[in-house]
Structure 1
Amino acid sequence: MVNTSDFIGRLEHLLKYYGLSASSFADKINVQRSSISHLLSGRNKPSLDFVLKVVNVFPDVNLYWLLNGKGTFPTDAENSPAKTKAPPKTNPTPNTLPLKPTGNPKKTIEKIVIFYSDGSFEAYNNE
């Protein structure tokens, strides 16, 4: 059985760790904002669907830690947002074209960043 007040504390810890408001957290895991509010106030208990959404969206969250406080959070300190590493420098392939916008000719693109669903990203600089 999940202790609701302890679960609320762990959920608040997640929000603080990721720097999210309750609203943005709800949007990120694709649940109604009111459901987060009801959980945090103690009105409702977490559903299995809610817990699974949290674990799927935030891979750092250990299921057992979230449910009963056993285990660690984050599960892998190396990949946590607090210890992000700079992306490796990538060399453009020989057949890439210079980046030029089609709009205002006085503007140039300095950097393009691609974000992947697993939380990783790649940055390309116009060098």
Structure 2
Amino acid sequence: MINSVDFTKRLQKIIDYYSESASSFAEKIGVQRSSISHILSGRNKPSLDFVMKVLSTYPEVELYWLMNGKGDFPSKPKISESPLSNTPETKTTPPQPDLNIVSHSDSDQEIDKIVIFYKNGTFKSYKP
């Protein structure tokens, strides 16, 4: 379960990192200013749609860091990236996920649930 107080602190860290006001942050991610205000004050909890908008607008924000504080912010470059790729003079596009992942496992692991997230912020959950 998400800790709303900690989520609020991480959201404020994102806003501060990008030197945004709550209004400009709300405009960039495409939500009303009141949504940001209510989440930062603890009145409301963030919706899945809100979280997905933050992640799609700010690719340096990792889902697990935003939701439960595990990981890094801003996200560290992948090992395969050139150390020069993060210099201010070089603009790089964020790595895109490889959707053709094939995994083979010799163990007898069973799938519990599959969740598919769509770009519009909706998701579907499947149980085998």
Fold conserved (TM > 0.5)? yes
Q: Where does residue 86 of structure 1 map in the other structure?
A: 89
| Structure 2 counterpart of 1:44, one-letter code | N
Report deviation, 1:76: 2.7
* Cα distance in 2 between the residues matched to 1:44 and 1:87: 39
- How does 1:112-127 map onto structure 2 within 5 Å? none
Q: Where does residue 62 of structure 1 map in the other structure?
A: 62
* Cα distance in 1 between the residues matched to 2:23 and 2:87: 24
- Unmatched tracts of structure 2, length 5 or more: 95-128
Report deviation, 1:84: 4.8
* Number of residue pairs aligned between Structure 1 and Structure 2: 87
Q: Deviations over 1:14-60 (max 9, x none)?
A: 01111000000000000001000000000000000000000000000
Alpha-carbon distance change, 87 to 16 in structure 1, aligned in 2, over 3 angstroms: same
Give identity over the alignment, percent: 60
- How does 1:20-39 map onto structure 2 within 5 Å? 20-39=20-39
* Cα distance in 1 between the residues matched to 2:87 and 2:14: 17
Structure number, greater radius of gyration = 1
3-state secondary structure, aligned to 2:75: coil
3-state secondary structure, aligned to 1:40: helix
Q: Where does residue 50 of structure 2 map in the other structure?
A: 50
Superposition CA RMSD, Å: 2.3
Misfit runs of 4+, over 4 Å = none
* Cα distance in 2 between the residues matched to 1:84 and 1:57: 21
Higher relative contact order (CA 8 A, sep 6+): 2
* TM-score scaled by length of structure 1: 0.62
> Is 2:16 the counterpart of 1:16?
yes
* TM-score scaled by length of structure 2: 0.62
Alpha-carbon distance change, 40 to 84 in structure 1, aligned in 2, over 3 angstroms: farther
- Unmatched tracts of structure 1, length 5 or more: 89-117, 120-127
* Cα distance in 1 between the residues matched to 2:11 and 2:88: 26
Q: Where does residue 123 of structure 1 map in the other structure?
A: none
* Cα distance in 2 between the residues matched to 1:87 and 1:67: 30
